[in-house]
Structure 1
């Protein structure tokens, strides 16, 4: 498997055809997987916000004041308001905001970013990243993964994850297959799109690299079952259910 960044992509702005921009710079093969950072997908779709245009409501003001009191850092209630606007559920309100997006991704601050946004204060996550991946896949003629980076429970540091995909299953299902000793695998479902997103993130990076699109070439899914289930449903998400009973008391 080979992984390489799409070279020489310019700053992406609202209205740009991101698929064409990538296609002009890489000879895309039908079996490539193109990983595209959510930031540039959102920029192309105009998913940016200026805080001067935001009015914080009472709930956002209350949240910002409580977090500021807990962390000794000033918090802008307008930012809290944008997070609330971009979320369907608020799982934690202190000491940080942990939210669920409309498309099912659970992340801090609804995935809103302040980095690499030259024309606005904030860039939001795409509203429907799988639909964006489908449109890019149609243009490029290859599978596409829309990626983001986020932290992990129980571990330090961030890593790349998939928030939308098209043209390949989200997971590779090993259940019913056997290990080298003949034992049947009963629970193993491999989150392929997350693993490919993490590989791409090694090249797209987190800073000023300017390489938000990455090509993964010669990846083979293999002769396995596939699934598009990536985000846990509420009924099977025991951690999310436990959070409903938990309150931060720091």
Structure 2
């Protein structure tokens, strides 16, 4: 397969036609998958915000004070309030805010971005990234995945992950197929949307690159069963259950 950035996109603003801007710069094919950063989707959807929009309540002030005592850095309780309002559940309050977003993604600070947000303090994740992906996919005629940069447990660094998708299954299921020795595979379910997001992130980069959309060309799903299961349910998420019983000591 091939992965390449959509070059020369302008600074994206609220109400811009992102699909048209992409189409003006690349001739999409049926075999393509468009990976687009959640940041530009949020900008189109008017998800910029200021800290003043989030007057801090008692819980937010308590969280900010705790984080200050742990990290030694000054924390704005209004940011903690924004995280609380963008979250379905707060899993950890220290040494960082790990939350479950309203659409099921587990991430730090509810995915709120403070970089590359001209004219505002904050950029919130799209309210429903899969609905955002569907709108783009229907306009462009190709599958779309909406990506974010996120850390993962047990590893240093961040990687591209999917927060929304449309036009392809989230995963492909290898269970029931055989390996080269003829043994039946019993456990492998491959999160293809996350793998496409990670590949796109290598091309898009971070910081001031200005390339938030990447085309994946000639990747094929193959003859496998597919599933849209991506975010674990509360009942089978053992890590989430354990975190509810855990408290940071430090």
TM over 0.5: yes
Deviation sequence 1:71-113 (CA, Å, 0-9, x none): 1000000000000000000000111100001110000000001
Residue aligning to 1:122: 122
Q: Structure 2: how far apart are the matches of 1:26 and 1:94?
A: 44
1:25 aligns with 2:25: yes
Runs of 4 or more consecutive aligned structure 1 residues displaced over 4 Å after TM superposition = none
Residue aligning to 1:70: 70
Q: Structure 1: how far apart are the matches of 2:31 and 2:78?
A: 44
Residue aligning to 1:222: 222
Which runs of 5 or more residues in structure 1 are unaligned?
none
Q: Could you state the TM-score of these two structures normalised by the residue count of structure 1?
A: 0.99
What is the Cα deviation at residue 166 of structure 1? Answer: 0.3
Residue aligning to 1:113: 113
Q: Structure 1: how far apart are the matches of 2:176 and 2:146?
A: 30
Instruction: Provide the aligned length of Structure 1 versus Structure 2.
Output: 250
Q: Structure 2: how far apart are the matches of 1:59 and 1:219?
A: 47
Which runs of 5 or more residues in structure 2 are unaligned?
none
Q: Structure 1: how far apart are the matches of 2:171 and 2:103?
A: 17
Residue aligning to 1:201: 201
Residue aligning to 1:92: 92
1:9 aligns with 2:9: yes
Deviation sequence 1:22-46 (CA, Å, 0-9, x none): 1111101122000000000000000
C-alpha RMSD of the superposition: 0.6
What is the Cα deviation at residue 53 of structure 1? Answer: 2.8
Deviation sequence 1:124-146 (CA, Å, 0-9, x none): 01000000000000111000000
Q: Structure 2: how far apart are the matches of 1:51 and 1:14?
A: 19
Q: Structure 1: how far apart are the matches of 2:51 and 2:237?
A: 34
Q: Could you state the TM-score of these two structures normalised by the residue count of structure 2?
A: 0.99
Residue aligning to 1:191: 191
Residue aligning to 2:152: 152
Q: Structure 1: how far apart are the matches of 2:105 and 2:238?
A: 16
Q: Structure 2: how far apart are the matches of 1:235 and 1:221?
A: 29
